[in-house]
A and B are shown apart, each in its own frame.
Chain A
Amino acid sequence: MSSLTAAATESRAPASVTAFPPHIVAVVLAATSVIVGVIWDISWHRSIGRDTFWTPAHLAIYLGGIVAGVSCGALVLRTTFAGTPEERGRTVRFWGFRGPLGAWVCIWGAIAMITSAPFDNWWHNAYGLDVKVLSPPHVLLALGFTGIQVGGLLLLAARQNADEGAADAHAAAHRRLFTYAAGLLVANASIMGIEYIGFPNDAHHALYYKICAAAFPLLLAATARASRARWPATGAAATYMAVTLLMLWILPLFPATPRLAPIYNPLDHFVPPPVPILLVVPALVIDLVVRRGPESDWGRAALAGIGFVLVLLAVQWTVARFLISPRAENFLFGAQRWNYNSQLGPWRYEFWRVAADPLTAGGVVTATAIAVASTRVGLWWGAWMARVRR
């Protein structure tokens, strides 16, 4: 017990636990590289149409996997065979090896990504080059890079939790990086749902709000609960928006030529992602409720879930009207940019799927129920992350 206290005291040193160790820097860069790569790859398919394994977008994705996997693997080997007792004390065991929990999740993600590559190659040969985003090998790849992002988040959570009480620059940076890593996860979720929530033209059908309610409150509530920063959910949402907007502004600066017939919409530059969901506003609600809301987690979940859906609806419903209008066809909002194989028509200025799946009062209630459940799970996950020490 005395050694326990000693270790605990040590971790609560007046200053935060040193600067950034290289593996944390590597994992955060890897997670960024993956997100940039995925957004770039989607743009590649919408602009050029065909690719090889060696496109820069693919390299960015796999580089992320390799960097995260190798840096965490090296950390594990060093800690296991040459770590000080203190270093080993901050780890969990995996088949006799020792490493922080986040490192293990990163390594798992990297191996999943590596596994997906030959699987995906076989899949292309067997069932055709994919025209769909969702296929079993792609899901494995997505699980892999999501693992790297979650691993990074856990590494930062452990750092942040070890800093407890410290108020120096390192501790502040740990908190900020945690928010940033959470923002990458939010961006990841928005990309996974691109077919349903990717375009502002989707913002008037019921499924849009149900998917948003399922995906985002979970991540935002977990962030708000786990982070020791001041506005973590808002920060994570802002990170997601910033990353997407940067890609929206940077990608069209680069030339691209469609390489596949049929070309219905000739273009000469990359097609950027659509304007991100205005998630900062509903994220603010989650931050407020988690910080100042009811004591019980169910009470918080109910309040945050209801607030999230209502605020998202109020914001996104109206903003989307502008985003699909000709007024948004400019550099800032990029609404004029469509796939090379799109046959342009009035559908650009219309809301999609509203006839088949209109948003009714019942739909709002369902979305709210989903958001409450999602928030509750997020709070549970966040509470655990707030306690992760290794």
Chain B
Amino acid sequence: MDGARTAVSRRLAGSGLAAAIALVTAAHVGSPDTFFEGRAGPYGIRVIVRPPGVVPGLADITVRILSGEGVRSVLVLPLRGGRPTAEEPPPDSARAVPGDPRLFSAQLWLMEGGAYSIQVSVDGTAGAGRAIVPVNSIATRRLRFATPLAIGLLGLGAFLLVGALTIVGAAVRESVLPPGEEPDAARRRRSWWIRLLTVPLLALAVLGGKRWWDGVDVAYRNGLFRPMRVTTTIETAGGTRTLRLVITDSLWLGRRSSPLIPDHGKLMHLFLVREDQNAFAHLHPVMQDSSTFLAALPPLAPGVYRLYGDVVHESGFTQTLVDTVRLAAGGGTWRPSDADDAWWQSAPPSAISLQRTAALEDGSTMTWMRDSAPLVAGRELELRFTVKGPDGRPASLQPYMGMASHAVIARDDGAVFVHLHPAGTIAMASQLVFALRQPGDTVRGRLGQRIAEEERRTEHGADFCGTPVDTMHQGGLPAACSVVSFPYAFPQPGAYRLWVQVKRDGRVLTGAFDAQVAAAAPR
């Protein structure tokens, strides 16, 4: 994690005046923006929320109308999860971005830390609809003074200090003299003495201000978001390896954080990525007690692995628990602790390079449908993949944990990690929290139970492709689901690997791709 933190701590280009230092983000690592693609009634929309990294702060939101015509208004309203209030404030009207009639933007006031639900309402000739986009409001970065601003403020500050001394001097020397009279030597001397005595007073005031500022800064740094601390160990018994992950954070042990709820039916989605990115696993550890999770380890190659554990709290707050663990050689037999566990290993190592088509385990292929344009950090993308069976015809995909597909994107240094679905980076469970929460949900776990029921209900529905596929508006889509797409923007330049997981004929298949992302050209 230290490596990841250092890497993420690289300077990001700030907004004109200042440079920011990003530390961590809650759900996902190094990828603070929230992406959502789904429906608001009759309209297909893609929402991107760029958080301010500070609380309270202003987040930028853009809403792109992907399908549906005649949109008259797009309203956005951030609500802090689930607290009953007498009245909701009026939503803000998102303005059409000049030059792009289907793109709307606004600012969101996120005043408190924690889980927010952003209500996006679209109204137009086709009718009205609403979508809920869960967003974490957390402080993640420290802002440094940009040099020009620092120089300007220091200059003005120095002028104010010297100016104050000059005024004191003039007051003593001349202010009470009758008009026209020149100050005598005694007055001038006195003026010098008083100015000399004022210097320590001003210095004291400046030092006091500095101490105050330092105090604010320390308090702010202590309030920066950190994912809950975990410890991970590997236990070998009877030829099987088990990963034991224990949440050791006092916030969790002291029950000061709300309980976890299942997302796609799992309390934790744990991803293991070997440091060289040539081995990957997507596991679903089983909760053994209130803070211990166990998962049977697949026969992954030995090495150091980065661990990313995605969890969702009952409050709607999502976070990624991070750790590293060293796996020794020898896997033994693997009896998955969860039927949806899957793993992938590149054979031969690093053979994937920048190819567009990946061969899948069952002989089918997965192709990244991208044009030849280079990938650029910060640019909104639709990552599209088609799966074809061994016979070259579009494959018929099955829901994998309720979704058409799961994707993981990680930078080679581990500083960026994100777990994506066709619906974006949001956790479906958080969305359900805000949709299903009732005023009586004061009993711990009750909401989670209802969410699990709701997830089971929708998973068996026939429309698993419904949400994601409906919004895949481009081109003729086959009736069966063989194309998956993910809304995303690479947060930083660098070398990335993407793992895209789908399910076909009851098997979870993982396709891996590499991507080289360039820095955005300075505006």
Which of A129-137, A235-243, A246-254 sits within the interface? Answer: A129-137
Provide the A74-110 mask, 1 if CB < 8 A to any CB of B, else 0. 0000000000011001101111000001001100100
Task: Indicate which residue in A86, A101, A265 contacts B175 across the interface (CB closer than 8 Å).
Answer: A101
Which of B83-91, B310-318, B411-419 sits within the interface? Answer: B83-91
Asked whether any CB of chain B lies closer than 8 Å to the CB of A127, the reply is yes
Give the size category of B's interface with A.
35 or more
Most chain A beta carbons < 10 A, residue from B17, B58, B178:
B178
Interface residues of B in 83-132 (CB under 8 A from A): 83, 85-90, 109, 111
Contact A92 B109 (CB under 8 A): no
Chain A residues with CB under 8 A of B57: 124-125, 128-129
Which of A4-12, A64-72, A347-355 sits within the interface? Answer: A4-12
Q: How far is the CB of A342 from chain B (nearest CB, A)?
A: 11
Q: How far is the CB of A337 from chain B (nearest CB, A)?
A: 15
Contact A266 B86 (CB under 8 A): yes
Interface residues of A in 1-27 (CB under 8 A from B): 3-4, 6-8, 10-11
Asked whether any CB of chain B lies closer than 8 Å to the CB of A326, the reply is no
Contact A105 B167 (CB under 8 A): yes
Contact B180 A257 (CB under 8 A): no
Task: Indicate which residue in A10, A118, A126, A261 contacts B80 across the interface (CB closer than 8 Å).
Answer: A261
Known contacts being A101-B167, A128-B56, is A11 close to B89, with CB within 8 Å? no
Known contacts being A115-B156, A263-B86, is A128 close to B176, with CB within 8 Å? no
Chain B residues with CB under 8 A of A89: 179-181
Provide the B460-480 mask, 1 if CB < 8 A to any CB of A, else 0. 000000000000000000000
Known contacts being A94-B167, A126-B54, is A118 close to B152, with CB within 8 Å? yes
Asked whether any CB of chain A lies closer than 8 Å to the CB of B79, the reply is yes
Chain A residues with CB under 8 A of B58: 129
Contact A125 B18 (CB under 8 A): yes
Chain B residues with CB under 8 A of A154: 175
Task: Indicate which residue in A7, A93, A114, A384 contacts B170 across the interface (CB closer than 8 Å).
Answer: A93
Asked whether any CB of chain B lies closer than 8 Å to the CB of A183, the reply is no
Contact B180 A3 (CB under 8 A): yes
Provide the bound-state CA to CA distance between A258 and B86, in Å.
Answer: 12
Contact B180 A7 (CB under 8 A): yes
Interface residues of A in 275-321 (CB under 8 A from B): none
Nearest-CB residue, chain B, relative to A267 = B87
Provide the bound-state CA to CA distance between A262 and B83, in Å.
Answer: 8
Chain A residues with CB under 8 A of B160: 108, 111-112, 115
Asked whether any CB of chain A lies closer than 8 Å to the CB of B445, the reply is no
Known contacts being A257-B90, A259-B90, is A122 close to B143, with CB within 8 Å? yes
Q: How far is the CB of B335 from chain A (nearest CB, A)?
A: 49
Chain A residues with CB under 8 A of B193: none
Chain A residues with CB under 8 A of B178: 4, 7-8, 11, 389
Give the size category of A's interface with B.
35 or more
Asked whether any CB of chain B lies closer than 8 Å to the CB of A260, the reply is yes
Contact A258 B89 (CB under 8 A): yes
Known contacts being A257-B90, A264-B86, is A390 close to B54, with CB within 8 Å? no
Q: How far is the CB of A44 from chain B (nearest CB, A)?
A: 14
Contact B89 A94 (CB under 8 A): no
Chain A residues with CB under 8 A of B55: 128
Contact B175 A388 (CB under 8 A): yes
Interface residues of B in 48-90 (CB under 8 A from A): 52, 54-58, 77-80, 83, 85-90
Interface residues of B in 177-219 (CB under 8 A from A): 177-181, 209, 212-213, 216-217
Provide the bound-state CA to CA distance between A139 and B208, in Å.
Answer: 12
Contact A263 B87 (CB under 8 A): yes
Provide the bound-state CA to CA distance between A273 and B216, in Å.
Answer: 28
Chain B residues with CB under 8 A of A257: 89-90
Contact A389 B175 (CB under 8 A): yes
Q: How far is the CB of A76 from chain B (nearest CB, A)?
A: 12
Q: How far is the CB of B133 from chain A (nearest CB, A)?
A: 15
Chain B residues with CB under 8 A of A50: 109
Provide the bound-state CA to CA distance between A50 and B58, in Å.
Answer: 11
Q: How far is the CB of A50 from chain B (nearest CB, A)?
A: 5
Asked whether any CB of chain B lies closer than 8 Å to the CB of A230, the reply is no
Contact A264 B156 (CB under 8 A): no
Provide the A373-386 mask, 1 if CB < 8 A to any CB of B, else 0. 00000000000100
Q: How far is the CB of A151 from chain B (nearest CB, A)?
A: 10
Task: Indicate which residue in B163, B173, B179, B212 contacts A111 across the interface (CB closer than 8 Å).
Answer: B163
Q: How far is the CB of A292 from chain B (nearest CB, A)?
A: 26
Task: Indicate which residue in B153, B163, B179 contacts A390 across the interface (CB closer than 8 Å).
Answer: B179
Asked whether any CB of chain A lies closer than 8 Å to the CB of B142, the reply is yes
Known contacts being A4-B180, A92-B173, A388-B175, is A136 close to B213, with CB within 8 Å? yes
Nearest-CB residue, chain A, relative to B145 = A122
Known contacts being A128-B57, A264-B85, is A93 close to B174, with CB within 8 Å? yes
Interface residues of B in 144-174 (CB under 8 A from A): 145, 149, 152-153, 156-157, 159-160, 163-164, 166-167, 170-171, 173-174
Provide the bound-state CA to CA distance between A121 and B145, in Å.
Answer: 12
Asked whether any CB of chain A lies closer than 8 Å to the CB of B334, the reply is no
Nearest-CB residue, chain B, relative to A1 = B181
Provide the bound-state CA to CA distance between A139 and B78, in Å.
Answer: 31
Q: How far is the CB of B161 from chain A (nearest CB, A)?
A: 10
Provide the bound-state CA to CA distance between A112 and B213, in Å.
Answer: 18
Nearest-CB residue, chain B, relative to A9 = B178
Nearest-CB residue, chain B, relative to A104 = B167
Asked whether any CB of chain B lies closer than 8 Å to the CB of A119, the reply is yes
Asked whether any CB of chain A lies closer than 8 Å to the CB of B139, the reply is yes
Contact A262 B85 (CB under 8 A): yes
Task: List, sorted by A's number, 28 A–B pairs whose CB atoms are closer than 8 Å.
Answer: A4-B178, A8-B178, A89-B179, A95-B166, A101-B167, A101-B174, A104-B163, A105-B167, A111-B163, A115-B157, A122-B143, A122-B145, A125-B18, A125-B52, A127-B220, A128-B55, A129-B56, A131-B56, A162-B179, A260-B89, A260-B109, A261-B79, A262-B80, A266-B86, A266-B87, A388-B176, A389-B178, A390-B179
Please name 10 further chain A to chain B contacts, defined as beta carbons within 8 Å, in addition to the given A114-B156, A125-B54, A129-B109, sorted by A numbering.
A7-B181, A49-B89, A112-B160, A118-B152, A124-B57, A125-B52, A128-B56, A261-B79, A266-B87, A388-B175
Q: 6 shortest A-B CB distances, which residue pairs? A: A89-B180, A7-B180, A126-B143, A92-B170, A89-B179, A262-B85
